Every structure is written in C-alpha cells, then in structure tokens.
Amino acid sequence: MLNPCARAIALIALIACLITPALAQQRKGEDSGQLAVEAINKGNQAVDSPLNERVKFMAWDFTKLGYHISPSELLALRFENVTDQPVNLSINWRVERYDNLKVITQGELGLELDAKTLDAVPLTLPANLPDGCYRLHLVAEDTNAPGKQLRDVIVVDYRAPQPNRTLNARLATLLDCNDPEGFITLATGPLRTYVEAMRSMPPEASDNDVILLQAEIWRERYGTVESVVQRIRAGTPAIIFAKFPAELDDVAPVTIDRDNPWVYEPRSLESVDFWPTFDPENGPRHYATNVTAKPGSIVHARWEDGRPAIVSQQVGEGVVYYFSTAPGRTWEVNRGNGNMDEMLMRCVYDILGRSDAGTAIDRMARENLDNEQRERQQIARFIGDVPDHAQVGASERNFARFGWHLVSESGLNVHIGYNSEIQFAADLPSKRGATTPEAIMTVNVPGMEGRRAKFVEGSWISRTIDWADNRNVTRLRSTLSPASPFMLWETRERTLNLDFVTTRIAVMTRNGPRTLSPGESIDGRQLTANWIIAVNGDPEHRDSPRLIALTRRPTTLTLNDNQLSLAFNRRGGADALAIGTLFGVRHFAPGQTGRLINDLPEQWQDQADRSARLALAFPVDTDEMFWFEDEDLVIANRYTYRTLGNDWRLTPLKVAMMPPFAALNMHNGVPNSAEQPLIDLKTPTIWGPLLAAEGDRITYRLRLPARDHFGPIRVERDDPFYEHIDNRLIHPLKQEWTANGFINRPDRPSSNPMGDLNDYLPSAYVPMFEAWHSDLYKLWFCFPAVAGRPVYGPEARQVADDHHRKVYRDILNFYPHRSIIHHRREPITLLDYPINFIWPTNWNNGRRYYVDQDESWTVIAYCWEMYTRYYGDWTTTKSNWNMIQWHSQYNSIEHDWAGMAASNLEEYFNLGHDCINAQYPGHLAHSRLAAGVGDKHAERHALYLAGKTIQPTVARWFMKDYLESITEQGDPWRQWRWHATLSDTRVQGYDTAVDPDARRTLSHNSRHHDTSKGTSTEFMLMYKQFAFDRLDEYQRELRSYEPTVDNFELGTGNSMARVMVEWPREEILATALKTERKNSRSDAWRSLMAPHNLALIVSADNPLFIAEWAPAEYVSGSFDPDTLKVSLVMNNVEHEPCTLRLYTQRRPDGVAVNDAAISDWAYDENKGWLTIEIPGNQQSSVVIDLTEDKPAELHPYFPTTWQE
C-alpha cells in the first residue's frame, strides 16, 4: 500500500505536468548554436552518437564533492562503460566562464574503461581560478573507433574563498543531509565568502580546518570512524552537535541520554566564554539535547537550569567541542549578520585562535546594516517623495525572469530566443516552446556566421547581450525589458536585414504615408518619421502589425520577400533601433491589416508617432520602494532609461509603467489606483493593458483585502460533520510517513542522470528520522489538518498533536540541517537561494532545474505559521528564524516586476495553477510569523510580496473578457473561458472549468483554489472581495459537470468557495455530507486538506471566530448556540499576558477567565472585534456570554443569506 506521501508526490507530478507541458523545450538548445554542444535531456546522451550508447558521462562524485567545487577538492570526471567490451577514451575538455564564454583553461585526458565499470579521471583546475560559475565542456572519443564522439557539458559552481587571515576557515561538513555545504551557506551567512566548505574530510590537514559533524548514524561518506578520530588526535578540531553517533562516545566531551535524548522545555543560555558580549535577553530560547558533561571537560556555556550547553575536551593534539543544539540556530536578533549561526562561527574562530574574529563579525554586522541604510537613503532620494518608513522593494538583489539563461528570455510582447531570433507573443501558439514563421523575426548583418551570446549587463527589469560571430567579433547587441513593449537592438553595421513574414510596409514621407510592396525601395531622405509599420496581410492570418523605430536615417530602405533591408552610410551604422508591435498583442481580423495599410488610418499614424518616441526612452532599470497606508500597499517606482539620440530630433517619451496585472485588475473593479494620471499606451500585453504615468516616476496603490485568519470555534449541536472532521485526520496520520520522492521512477530515467540526488533518494524508503533528508514540503501534509485542531475531539486531537510535534518541533529543532534539499547560486548574478522541493526536475544543459519552487516555500510558510499559531510554539520559530528567512529567499530573488510574483520554475518564468495559489497566503503567513518574532523589516517585506502576488492571482479571472476586448470575432484566443496558468511568452487557457478529468477538478481544484496542501481561508476571502462574480460563475460551471461524474466528490476548497459566493447553506451542506460519507475514513493524504475548511463551512451560519491569540496555544474552542456561550482553552507559556482578538456579530454580555469574571475586555460594536487579555505562564479557560443583539457589521467570511 502506498503511504500518504507516495500518493502525494504522484499527484503533484501530474499537477506539474499540467502546469508545464513540454517543459523547457524552448530553452533546450540555448548553447547548441554557440558551443556545438547539444542540450542533454535523456540520460545525458549526445544525439546519434554510437559512443554514447556505450559510455555514459556521470559528472563528478556528488556524494564526495557535493554541488559546489572548492579549491581543496580534487575534481575527477566519471565515465561509465555499460558494455561488455573495454573502451579507451581520449577526452578533450575546456572550462569557460558561464556569462561570457571566455575560455579559462583546457586540456586533454585519457581513460581506459574496463567492461561494465565506472571510473574517474582527475582534472586540474587553475590554482587561481576566481570564484564564480563555469561551464565544463568535453568531447570524448574512443581511440579504437576514431570519429565516434561523446559530447557533453556540465555547470561548475566554483566556490573560492576571499583571502582574509582573520575569517578564512576550511570546514569539513559531515552532516547527514543531502547538501551539507548548502546548509553551511545558511550557518555562515555573510562569512560564506571567506569559508571553504567540503562535504568530506580534506585530503591533507591544514591549520584552518574544523570538522563539523551532526549525524545519528555514521555514514560511509565521512570515511572510517578511526580515520576521523585519528585526524582529531593529530590536531584537527571538531564540533559535534545534538545526538551524535555512538561511535564517537569516547571522544565526545559529554554523555548523552540515548533513551531520553531530547529536552522539550525551552531554555535560555547564560553567558558564553568565547562570546563575552552575548546577550541572552536579545535572543530566543531553545530546545536541546539531554547530556551531562564528562569529568575533566570544560563547560563554555550553560542553560539557565545549569545543564551544559557547549562543552569541550582535549583529544590528543586536537579538541572536540559539543553543542547540545543542532547547528544553524538563531542566537541573537541581528539582521546585519544575515542567516548566520553566530554562536557556531564564533566558536570556530575561537578554536582556530582568531582572537580578533569576534570584533570582525561585529564590524561586518554594523557595516551590513550601514550599507543597507545607505542604499535605502540613496534610493529614497532617487525616487523622491517617499515617507521615512518606506522600505526598498524587490528591485535590489534580484534576477527575476532573467536567471540561469543568457538568452531565451521573455519580455512583454517580444521575446528573444536562444539563437537571437525575436519572438512576437501575439503570434506564438499556445503550446509552450512552439513557434510559427509568422511569430519570428531575425536581425541579420552580412557575413555574420554563428551567434555567440555574451552577458553585458542586467537589472531587475532588463538584460543586455552581445552577439558575436564564430570569430568572436561582436556584431550585434540586444536589450530586453518587460517594462517596455519593444526590444532594443544596437549595431555599428551599415547594412541591416530584418527577416520576417510581411506583405507590405508603411513609412511617413513629406507627402504623407507611403506603402511598399516586395521589390520596392525608398530613399531614406524621404522619411519624415522614424517609424516603419509592417503587416502580414495574408487573408487567413490574424495580424498584429510590427513597428520598427529607427534612430538613424537609412540611405535606402528596401522590402524584399519577407525581408526588410536597411542601408546606412554613416560611420556608426544603424546605431540603434527598437522592434515591437504597433498595437501590442491585439489581433486584427484575418486580412484586415492588409487592407488598412493601403490607406493608413490616422489612428495608426498617431500610435506610431507616440510609440516610436516611447522606444527612444528604453527602460533598463527601476528602483522600487513601498509602504502601507490604511488598507493600501503603496509602491513607488522610478525608472532609468537608455535615451537614444536620433536624426529626426525627436524628444524621447519617458513614461513610468504600471505592471499590467495591476492595471487589468483596476479595470475590473479591484480598487487599485495611481497617484499620477495614467496614459493608456494602446499597447496591450498578454497580461493586461499597458498604462503609464508620463515621466520617470509612478506611485500606485494596491488594495489589501481583509486578511484575518479564521480560527474555528466548534458549534455544539447535533452535527455529523465533526465526526467526519476527526476521521479525516485520524486515518491518514496513522500511516507511516516518509519524504517519498519517487524521483528515480523507472518511467523517468532522465530525472537523476548524474547521481546528484543519491543522498536524497533513501529518504523515501527509511523511517523519518533515519533519512538523510526531512523534506518539509512533503512531510507537512497538510495545513488544514493543523488549523482544524481546536474543533477536534480528544482522540483526534491527541493523534494530531503527536504527529505535528514530531514533524514540526522535532525536525526543526533537532534535525534542521536535513530540511535543506539543495543550495543554489544563480550563475550570472551569483545570488544564493535554497531549493525547497525536489521533484519533478529537468536536467538541461549541464544543470538540474527544479519545479514549483514558489509554491514550495509559500506552502511551507503557511504550514509553519499554522503550527506556530495553533501550538503556540514560538520557541521553534524564533530559534529557527534565520532558517525561515533563508528558506524564503527564492520568492524574493525571483520576484518579477511584470509578473508581480515569483516563478514556479527556475528555468523560465511561469505563473501557474496551485503554485500561484500558494503565494499570497504563504507570504501573508511569513509576515505574521515575522510579527510574532519582532522582525518588523521582514514583516513588512513579506506583506508587500503578499499584496503584489494578489494581482496575478486575481487577474486570471479577468483574462477572458480582456482577450475578447483585443481580438475580433472568431479569434482562437476567445475559445478559452478560464486562465489558470499565465505563461510569460504566450496566451494559454482552458475552454472548460474542469481538467480533462472532471472528477479530479471537482475533488481537488488546483487550477484556481487549492495548493497541493489545501486551500487557506484567507485566500478564499481575497477572492470573495476581488472576484466574487467570476468565482460564482466558475463554481456554477463546475456544478454543471457534477451530474456527468458518477459518484463524484466535491473538494472542500470548492465547497468553501460556494460559501464565499453565498450559495444556499442546505445545498452546500448536502453536497459536502455526501462527500464526507465516502471520504472521512480514507487514509489518503488529501483527506488532511479538509478539516479546517469543513470547520468554516459548517459554522458559517454563526458569525463567530478567533483571529489572533499569539503567543498562546489554541487548544480548543466551542460555541453553544442554545446558551450563547463561547468556551475557549488557551495555553500561554510566555511570562507576559497575551491578547485574544475574536470576531462576534453578537454583543458580549460578560467574560470570565479561569472562572473569574473580568471587566477589562473591549468590544467594537461597529466592526465586531472583542479583545480579551489572558495571563502568562498558565493554561486558561475563557468563557464569553453572548446576547441575541447583533450590532456589528457582518464579517465577509459569513454569507449574509445564512444568518438568522
């Protein structure tokens, strides 16, 4: 029988396949034209190579070297002979920079492979190789069969530490997890640039070495116990953590209680001898390991109850330190130190005798904060007119849609392909990766053979690439920006050919518009405007006219068959030109543009005049700041432009764009607004209209919806649903849980071609705490199961508590290093971020790319907040705050200006299905966690991301009407009624509300409602406020499919949506009850998506819920509708009192805490909010007497028609 996680991953895989059909086909050949290297997608095999059928390239040994290569590691390339005959290989290799293809080093190797063997050949990298990312290319040839070659490429992330005698260290990270070096990137924080991390013992010892070890079971990768102990005895210091292997009992300075290893009472540290300025009051408490110090050991730090926290003892010439916590902890609140485990790093430097390291760390923290403040002040001055509390947004330290690929990236209406072709979004087929001749234009200069892309510069909103020929001579330069409807091209060539499908062009002369047919030319001196309009008048084609904006007057302009040729006689050649479309992605009727161009309409002329001036101010960067006013998120942008001189003496038109999603929502009733007057540029995009403020600055407002969390209170009445809620929880949680990935499934042989996930794979088949990896995304099924806790019966609550404390508290406090799947460094910007979800993946061009990363963090964040909120375990959250911040980095680093969210794919930008559904509630949860921790900066930033991600999420509902407004009758784009996925390159949609499998959509609506872990109440509340009518229409269409599905089941996300759009209560409950009678005893993990949603559905006729109670634990809650009494059980483990915030439409008559009436409660009769204070350090019972009087306005969680 498959366990719940096994079923989870199988279904998640199906979701991902639906999101991204033909994954990355468009990007697959990025380097093939430049480097003569085929993109490798199946088993890393070169196309049509007989040698490759016999020999497989297996990269390096990831188990020993990990994902990063460092100077102390020996890089050896592995090859596997899969035949019964020996093979003698001659291998030519070269290493070149990732960004500009400059060859750094190259050489030749030889390797004799016996039959059926895997062997490696060492490759020596230059001793002074700079830190950065490189591509390693190889061509292997069988010397016994000349001409039969194996070609391959792999990306090498080379981590070379910066020289610093105080801060340099070499860490042997013997951690039982998939990516020990990645975890050290978290633990070292800003010190990572000075530290060399290895996942095994270095071949030779050095004075900079420290061994770090956390593992319950000794792993073969570490070497033998004897070899490691011998290294320690010879003088290499070691730090071991928490529950260590029994093989180290003799050298450890403590004795561990292995029968009762964990101490679950949180404790604070007292003073630390190697950190004299440590302030226990400025940091969290911690869970720890139950140990006693050995006689003769040195206790460096104790817990407040006197137990040892950090202990050391001499072992031969070396020393062994012991930490009774796991590594990666937060010890003091200091944003200047990033994610650093400051206790660990101060200990490392103290062991190494770096007496000035503590001062250096303090100085670095101050400098980081000073630099952050200086940057904020500079941006604030540049933007101007922002309040003092405004924060810098996502415009800094961000690669957005431009990560990983030099080219093959998307703009708004024009994109660039891997061999420099321009792709027009208006004409791209809906299938990802597909093109047609009508969608393509190429920019050519005479004699240019080959296209080699070289990175020049980039920002949050642009990327500039030089295009060199096969002689490495740069001939063209392109700049792409999603903040412009054009693509900018620059060249000094005197002849420029634009190859594309066109039937006629129009230019402006002194005598008015003139059209040219193929074979006709015009003297450039006749051009009185800098624009050229080109149409495809094919009577079968729905055209989007092209617009070319020139900066220099050509001597002649000639239209050939599907080619526009421009000749220039000036020294600077063509200089610059912009290419786009005249009316964005608007589709004309078939053949319509061919008729209109003959008598060019004034509207076309005016549009061309304005657009051509717009192209002369090409946006290449923007700074963004944000703040909050009332219920609005306020965003200010100021843009930086490439302003282009021109022979027509035109003044460039600078405008500041509003992201299209925000504009589309504003047109559909969402209360967004701008402080400046907005111009409709009449250039619609695939994501919405293009509105802009004149000038270089825009300030716009995004309305935030009501975002109260729905803390359920059980309604005590004869209701069968609560038994079903209990059963929904009990049966799945009685199964054995593992982080099952199925990444090595036989039907996906390419998913693990290099063995780079071999450390992860066993987690699917061994008990949770014996696995190398504790995959939070897979183990935390599901957040409605956590949030349903207060309404469970005693048995269900005990099952829930045992399970959730194991997968949340125990993993995060005792095995946090195992939650790291893979740490990444984007190769062009060198920005770091973690991977939170491992499957499915795509191996492409020497690199593994991961899927659904936006969803994985935001789902983890929402789960994390539900656990913290309902269990009151703020100790776990505060002591792991640096890890929370580290896990969240992907969604900040890939946050896109136009998309207003992070991509669900590393490899290219995409907003899809359950992934985008997760972003708003996940960021909201992160913001609330930050508020509880006291990190105001993170609280505001996460809420800013939440407010922005609302825009694409809601805009999906309005795409149907929008596309109808920019197309003509019968247009293919009009066939789609629903748009759950938003591609960055083309328009996609669905003609029905259901998947091909209607049963699946009814039971699990991942298109518009659900994440892979359920539907949050805040998410549905947002839909109710911003897309009520479309949500209602969608659910009505879904209902029409119910009679067509035998024995159908309606998912609780759909039922909750129907509550929000105020369908009759009897209908919703009757349909829900039919589903529950089938499902409530199911052991499927999806059952865990139901409890919290059902709790809202069955109680929505009683306008009552609890919204805030931090930092207390919410144990249980009930409401008796006969006596109008509310009974709550809260447990506040903190010393200080805490405040409960409840919504009740009924007026309270009295409140008692612990059987004593209190008077210091407050009730807002307008809004319905009741606040009550409960004492600290105890469990409290709270009883509230309500009246029949209902003075308060009804909270939007509750249907008006359901109330008495």
| pLDDT value of position 1080 | 67
Final residue of a structural domain among 139, 158, 177: 158
What burial class does residue 560 get, using C-beta atoms within 10 Å of its C-beta: 0-12 exposed, 13-18 middle, 19+ buried? middle
Residue with tokens 């403020």: 693
Cβ-proximal residues to 752 (8 Å cutoff; 6+ apart), any chain:
743, 744, 758, 761
**Cβ density class 909-934: b for 16+ within 10 Å, e for less:** bbbbbbbbbbbbbbbbbbbbbbbbbe
Rounded CA-CA distance 151/140 in Å is 6
pLDDT-derived band of residue 1078, with 50, 70 and 90 as boundaries? confident
pLDDT digits (tens, 9 = 90+) for 984-998: 999 999 999 987 778
Residue 242, CA atoms < 13 Å, CB-side half-sphere = 25
Mean pLDDT of 1104-1111: 98
**What is the distance between the terminal CA atoms of the chain, rounded to a whole angstrom?**
48
> What six digits make up the tokens of 805?
């404390």
pLDDT-derived band of residue 155, with 50, 70 and 90 as boundaries? very high
What burial class does residue 1112 get, using C-beta atoms within 10 Å of its C-beta: 0-12 exposed, 13-18 middle, 19+ buried? buried
| pLDDT value of position 1104 | 97
- The whole-angstrom distance between residue 802's C-alpha and the CA centroid of its chain comes to 31
pLDDT digits (tens, 9 = 90+) for 95-140: 999 998 899 999 999 999 999 999 999 999 999 999 999 999 999 9
Torsion region of 1155: left, alpha or beta (phi above 0 gives left; psi -120 to 50 gives alpha): left
Torsion region of 210: left, alpha or beta (phi above 0 gives left; psi -120 to 50 gives alpha): beta
The answer as to whether 695 is a domain residue is yes
If asked whether residues 1010 and 1063 sit together in one domain, one would say yes
| pLDDT value of position 21 | 33
User: Using an 8 Å Cβ cutoff, are 196 and 70 in contact?
Assistant: yes
**Three-state secondary structure string covering 553-607:** CCCEEEEECCEEEEECCCCCCCEEEEEEECCCCCCCCCCHHHHHHHHCCHHHHHH
Mean pLDDT of 964-980: 95
User: Using an 8 Å Cβ cutoff, are 496 and 566 in contact?
Assistant: yes
E strand or H helix at 822, and its extent? strand 822-825
> What six digits make up the tokens of 626?
């944000």
If asked whether residues 1086 and 1108 sit together in one domain, one would say no
- The overall average pLDDT reported for the chain is 91
Cβ-proximal residues to 893 (8 Å cutoff; 6+ apart), any chain:
397, 398, 399, 403, 826, 831, 833, 902
| pLDDT value of position 753 | 66
The answer as to whether 9 is a domain residue is no
Name the H helices within 692-734: 721-733
Residue-number span of the structural domain to which 809 is assigned = 714-1098
Q: Measuring CA to CA, which residue among 216, 225, 205, 203 is closest to residue 175?
A: 216
* CATH code of 222's domain: 3.40.50.880
On the question of pLDDT at 19 being above 50, the answer is: no
E strand or H helix at 864, and its extent? helix 853-871
On the question of pLDDT at 14 being above 50, the answer is: no
Instruction: Report phi then psi at 1033, rounded to 5.
Output: -60, -40
| pLDDT value of position 792 | 97
pLDDT-derived band of residue 661, with 50, 70 and 90 as boundaries? very high
If asked whether residues 749 and 641 sit together in one domain, one would say no
User: Using an 8 Å Cβ cutoff, are 1163 and 1146 in contact?
Assistant: no
The percent of residues above 70 in pLDDT, for the chain, comes to 94
If asked whether residues 1141 and 1109 sit together in one domain, one would say yes
Rounded CA-CA distance 267/280 in Å is 10
If asked whether residues 853 and 729 sit together in one domain, one would say yes
What burial class does residue 648 get, using C-beta atoms within 10 Å of its C-beta: 0-12 exposed, 13-18 middle, 19+ buried? middle
On the question of pLDDT at 408 being above 90, the answer is: no
Rounded CA-CA distance 161/128 in Å is 11
Q: Measuring CA to CA, which residue among 669, 662, 648, 649 is closest to residue 693?
A: 662
pLDDT-derived band of residue 1007, with 50, 70 and 90 as boundaries? confident
If asked whether residues 536 and 623 sit together in one domain, one would say yes
pLDDT-derived band of residue 1111, with 50, 70 and 90 as boundaries? very high
If asked whether residues 178 and 144 sit together in one domain, one would say no
pLDDT digits (tens, 9 = 90+) for 202-222: 989 999 999 999 998 898 888
Rounded CA-CA distance 214/820 in Å is 14
Q: At what angle do helices 1017-1026 and 936-955 cross, to 10 degrees?
A: 50
Mean pLDDT of 723-743: 78
pLDDT digits (tens, 9 = 90+) for 328-366: 999 998 889 988 999 999 999 999 999 999 999 999 999
pLDDT-derived band of residue 37, with 50, 70 and 90 as boundaries? very low
Mean pLDDT of 163-169: 97
If asked whether residues 726 and 869 sit together in one domain, one would say yes
User: Using an 8 Å Cβ cutoff, are 790 and 713 in contact?
Assistant: yes
On the question of pLDDT at 29 being above 60, the answer is: no
| pLDDT value of position 1181 | 97
More confident residue, 407 or 234: 234
Residue 278 in 3-state DSSP?
Answer: coil
More confident residue, 745 or 167: 167
E strand or H helix at 1169, and its extent? strand 1169-1174
Instruction: Report phi then psi at 528, rounded to 5.
Output: -100, -5
The answer as to whether 1052 is a domain residue is yes
User: Using an 8 Å Cβ cutoff, are 239 and 300 in contact?
Assistant: no
How far is residue 672 from each of residues 180, 209, 664, 702, 948, measured CA to CA in Å? Answer: 45, 56, 10, 5, 11
Rounded CA-CA distance 863/1012 in Å is 12
Domain count of the fold of the chain: 5
The answer as to whether 379 is a domain residue is no
More confident residue, 22 or 729: 729
> What six digits make up the tokens of 190?
């800003």
The answer as to whether 369 is a domain residue is no
Cβ-proximal residues to 1194 (8 Å cutoff; 6+ apart), any chain:
1103, 1145, 1200, 1203
Rounded CA-CA distance 847/849 in Å is 6
| pLDDT value of position 752 | 57
If asked whether residues 634 and 736 sit together in one domain, one would say no
pLDDT-derived band of residue 431, with 50, 70 and 90 as boundaries? confident
On the question of pLDDT at 32 being above 70, the answer is: no
DSSP class per residue in 348-392: HHHHTT-TTHHHHHHHHHHHHHHHHHHHHHHHHHHH-S--TT-EE
Cβ-proximal residues to 1045 (8 Å cutoff; 6+ apart), any chain:
998, 999, 1002
The percent of residues above 90 in pLDDT, for the chain, comes to 79
The answer as to whether 22 is a domain residue is no
User: Using an 8 Å Cβ cutoff, are 884 and 819 in contact?
Assistant: no
The answer as to whether 13 is a domain residue is no
Considering the entire predicted model, what is its pTM?
Answer: 0.94
Instruction: Report phi then psi at 841, rounded to 5.
Output: -130, 170
pLDDT digits (tens, 9 = 90+) for 779-812: 898 999 999 999 999 999 999 999 999 999 999 9
How far is residue 1156 from each of residues 38, 1114, 1161, 1182, measured CA to CA in Å? Answer: 76, 20, 13, 9
Rounded CA-CA distance 341/331 in Å is 7
Final residue of a structural domain among 1098, 1129, 1149: 1098
| pLDDT value of position 44 | 33
If asked whether residues 485 and 627 sit together in one domain, one would say yes
| pLDDT value of position 284 | 94
On the question of pLDDT at 387 being above 70, the answer is: yes
pLDDT-derived band of residue 12, with 50, 70 and 90 as boundaries? very low
pLDDT-derived band of residue 740, with 50, 70 and 90 as boundaries? low
> What six digits make up the tokens of 844?
């492409």
Q: Measuring CA to CA, which residue among 21, 16, 59 is closest to residue 850?
A: 16
pLDDT digits (tens, 9 = 90+) for 568-586: 998 899 999 999 999 999 9
Mean pLDDT of 447-456: 93
Instruction: Report phi then psi at 641, rounded to 5.
Output: -125, 155
* CATH code of 99's domain: 2.60.40.10
Least confident of 862-866, 1002-1006, 1120-1124: 1002-1006
User: Using an 8 Å Cβ cutoff, are 1106 and 1138 in contact?
Assistant: no
**Angle at 672 (CA atoms; ends 637, 587), nearest 5 degrees:** 85
DSSP state of 111: E
E strand or H helix at 52, and its extent? helix 50-54
If asked whether residues 74 and 107 sit together in one domain, one would say yes
User: Using an 8 Å Cβ cutoff, are 895 and 12 in contact?
Assistant: no
User: Strands 68-69, 149-158: parallel, antiparallel or unpaired by DSSP?
Assistant: parallel
Final residue of a structural domain among 285, 320, 355: 355
* CATH code of 933's domain: 1.50.10
The answer as to whether 392 is a domain residue is no
If asked whether residues 679 and 804 sit together in one domain, one would say no
- The whole-angstrom distance between residue 263's C-alpha and the CA centroid of its chain comes to 35
Q: Cβ–Cβ contacts within 10 Å for residue 936, how many?
A: 12
Q: How many residues does the chain have?
A: 1204
| pLDDT value of position 736 | 72
